[in-house]
Amino acid sequence: MMNANKYSPGYFPVEKSEYRWVKKDHPEHAPIWCSVDLRDGNQALIVPMSLEEKLEFFNMLVKIGFKEIEVGFPAASETEYEFLRTLIEQDLIPDDVTIQVLTQCREHIIRKTFDAIQGAPRAVVHFYNSTSKAQREQVFKKSKEEIKEIALEGARLVKQLSQEYEGNFLFEYSPESFTGTEPDYALDVCNAVIDIMEPTVERPMIINLPVTVEMSLPHVYANQIEYCSDHLHRRDAVILSTHPHNDRGTGVADTELALLAGAQRVECCLFGNGERTGNVDAITLALNLYVLGVDPKLDFSNMPEIVEIYERTTRMHVHERQPYAGSLVFAAFSGSHQDAIAKGMKCKEDDPQGRWTVPYLPIDPHDLSRTYDADVIRVNSQSGKGGIGYILEHRYGYDLPAKMREHFGYTVKSVSDHRHAELKPEEILEVFKTTYLNKTGPILEMKEAHFIQSKTLKAIVTVLVDGVEHEWYGVGNGRLNAVNNAIKAGLNLDYSLETYTDQSLGKSSDALAQSYIGLLWPDGSRSWGAGSDPDILYSAILALTSAINNRNQA
């Protein structure tokens, strides 16, 4: 049995919360984005990226639009160090991009970090030490004042070395395990660091309050952020940052509420990669803003390419249900979902403002280089006529009458059910052709039709029945009606031609005519047929004979 009694909250809520952030609906603008894929994300990989892979990933992050990129922990390994030197010495950092490096507040690590970033055109030196109650008591066995002094010694050395080394350096401090630290104590440490670093409005520093381990509901973290934001020294010279992990699965919520509470910057990874349960997902955060009408300032329009590079270089898998990026996140197998989506698509086409309000799809898949027929409407035994008809119409141009679309939907579902498999669009087309189109049996095959116009319109049709050729005659008030009467008399059949529609498959002068016919039989059943031919009349005749040949399927 699981025993919940051994757990108790390890966080420290703010006792007097203002809760101003609760009154806000969403951020009004994008935060400052800092990708930590190449440090936190890379150190979380079973096989860390090679130099070449890190360079490719760096270039992808630049293309997406990240202006701050944490490129490593240069004291951690030679690959990390070499990558940083390669970026600087080969002038691979764009003018509008700032790199960031991480270092513990330990002298030899700080010095090696400055060796690695010497000559950087613009670099953030991110120094940190853990301040949580658990780590103070269990790991370091030091008092609050002793832990604070570690931060201050680190700050003094970072400031000193920034003046001794060549380069353009900015600063960031993190009280690691902030969520397990008493807010007033974390604030005291941060303010002491700020007083040493002396940031200005022109050259601000970053104070990062990380969710190193998620311990609470997101609103508790938002209150902590709001409290610190209200009481930080030199607040106009401080950029308040957040770095949430996802231990409780609420990293996105933590970040979104933190932004409402005063955070201005987010450290994040693509697809939520990172140590343990991962960092907050940059893609989900950015596109959540996008679907609210806020420009995230990051470009995820080529999502398939981003997924491909990510999976190849990290050897990680983007889950099929990963928000916005997973292969199945837009997929609707349910018939009711497909029907609503298909109708929503139609309404969108008729909206002069082009607003996106399609049911079940919070974002237009086209914005992410995904397609409707391949990614949205997916067909299996749970699918409905709306989605199946949508694929047939929008990919192949066949616009079936409503009742025929319903019949075709059940036919496709039956095929999928018997195969125990999803049907691809080309397989759906094949089912349509096999079931309805230009059928030559088992009852009859149309060979030709001629017409004589006198006082009445007379049709002369030549057909094959069981391999024997017949010539039948019929009169009617139109050519199709005359052919229909000839066939009914020749086969001694009783039915009504209930539905007839036609269309052009294409817009060129040599486009095929497409016809659909539904027959109502005396027992109340219906059969359907489709015909395709350059001549519209003959396409209708082929649709008629196809519907008769489908009598036993009615």
The predicted-structure confidence for 476-517, as pLDDT tens digits, reads as follows 999 999 999 999 999 999 999 999 999 998 777 678 999 999
Look at residue 169 and tell me whether its pLDDT is greater than 70.
yes
Residue 100's pLDDT is what?
Answer: 98
* Confidence bin at 16 (pLDDT 50/70/90): confident
Strand ranges of the sheet holding 526-533, from the earlier edge strand across to the other edge = 496-505, 512-520, 526-533
Residue 460's pLDDT is what?
Answer: 96
Mean pLDDT of the residues in the chain: 93
Look at residue 554 and tell me whether its pLDDT is greater than 60.
no
Q: Which residues of 423-438 are buried (b: 16+ CB within 10 A; e: fewer)?
A: bebebbbebbeebbbb
Average the pLDDT over 63-78 and give the result.
Answer: 93
Please tell me whether residue 243 adopts helix, strand or coil conformation.
coil
Q: 375-406: per-residue pLDDT in tens?
A: 676 776 677 667 788 888 888 999 999 999 99
Please tell me whether residue 512 adopts helix, strand or coil conformation.
strand
Cis status, amide bond into 442, omega within 30 of 0: yes
Element of type H or E holding 135: helix 133-135
Interatomic CA distance for residues 448 and 445, integer angstroms: 9
Look at residue 76 and tell me whether its pLDDT is greater than 70.
yes
Contact in structure between 102 and 72 (CB atoms under 8 Å): yes
Contact in structure between 187 and 209 (CB atoms under 8 Å): no
Residue 505's pLDDT is what?
Answer: 87
If you ran DSSP here, which 8-state letter would residue 317 be given?
-
Contact in structure between 482 and 458 (CB atoms under 8 Å): yes
Written as six digits, the tokens of 226 are 């709001």
348 class by beta-carbon count within 10 Å (0-12 exposed, 13-18 middle, 19+ buried): middle
Residue 407's pLDDT is what?
Answer: 93
* Confidence bin at 331 (pLDDT 50/70/90): confident
143 CB neighbour count, 10 Å cutoff: 11
Cα–Cα distances in angstroms (integers) from residue 423 to residues 365, 387, 417, 494, in the given order: 21, 12, 10, 36
pLDDT > 90 in the chain, percent:
82
Q: Residues 6 or more apart from 520 whose CB is under 8 A from it?
A: 495, 496, 498, 526
Written as six digits, the tokens of 4 are 């919940």
Q: Residues 6 or more apart from 53 whose CB is under 8 A from it?
A: 313
Strand ranges of the sheet holding 457-465, from the earlier edge strand across to the other edge = 445-453, 457-465, 468-476
Q: Which CATH number applies to 445-553?
A: 3.30.160.270
Alpha helices in 351-478 (DSSP H): 385-396, 402-419, 425-436
Look at residue 275 and tell me whether its pLDDT is greater than 80.
yes
Residue 422's pLDDT is what?
Answer: 84
Residue 423's pLDDT is what?
Answer: 87
| Single pTM value for the model | 0.82
520 CB neighbour count, 10 Å cutoff: 15
Helix, strand, coil content of the chain in percent (nearest 5)? 45, 20, 35
416: closest CA among 431, 401, 406? 431
Contact in structure between 155 and 127 (CB atoms under 8 Å): yes
Residue 330's pLDDT is what?
Answer: 87
Considering only residues 237 and 414, tell me which one the structure prediction assigns the higher pLDDT: 237
* Confidence bin at 373 (pLDDT 50/70/90): low
Q: 232-253: per-residue pLDDT in tens?
A: 999 999 999 999 999 999 999 9
Contact in structure between 123 and 98 (CB atoms under 8 Å): yes
Interatomic CA distance for residues 147 and 151, integer angstroms: 7
Interatomic CA distance for residues 453 and 326, integer angstroms: 63
* Confidence bin at 21 (pLDDT 50/70/90): very high
If you ran DSSP here, which 8-state letter would residue 280 be given?
P
Q: 431-484: per-residue pLDDT in tens?
A: 999 999 999 999 999 999 999 988 889 999 999 999 999 999 999 999 999 999
Written as six digits, the tokens of 523 are 């027992």
**Stretch among 48-57, 77-86, 531-540 having the lowest mean pLDDT:** 77-86
Written as six digits, the tokens of 167 are 């380069």
Written as six digits, the tokens of 92 are 């691979």
**Domain spanning 11-314: which CATH class is it, in words?**
alpha beta
Considering only residues 450 and 335, tell me which one the structure prediction assigns the higher pLDDT: 450
| Mutual angle of helices 218-231 and 251-260, in 10-degree steps | 30
Q: 182-227: per-residue pLDDT in tens?
A: 999 999 999 999 999 999 999 999 999 999 999 999 999 999 999 9
Per DSSP, the residues of 204-250 read -EEEE--BSS--S-HHHHHHHHHHHHHH-TTGGGEEEEE-BB-TTS-
Element of type H or E holding 474: strand 468-476
Domain ranges in the chain with CATH number 3.30.160.270: 445-553
Please, what is the Cα angle at 198 between 189 and 70, to 5 degrees? 75
Interatomic CA distance for residues 327 and 332, integer angstroms: 12
Considering only residues 507 and 55, tell me which one the structure prediction assigns the higher pLDDT: 55
Domain ranges in the chain with CATH number 3.20.20.70: 11-314
Interatomic CA distance for residues 52 and 72, integer angstroms: 14
Contact in structure between 66 and 101 (CB atoms under 8 Å): no
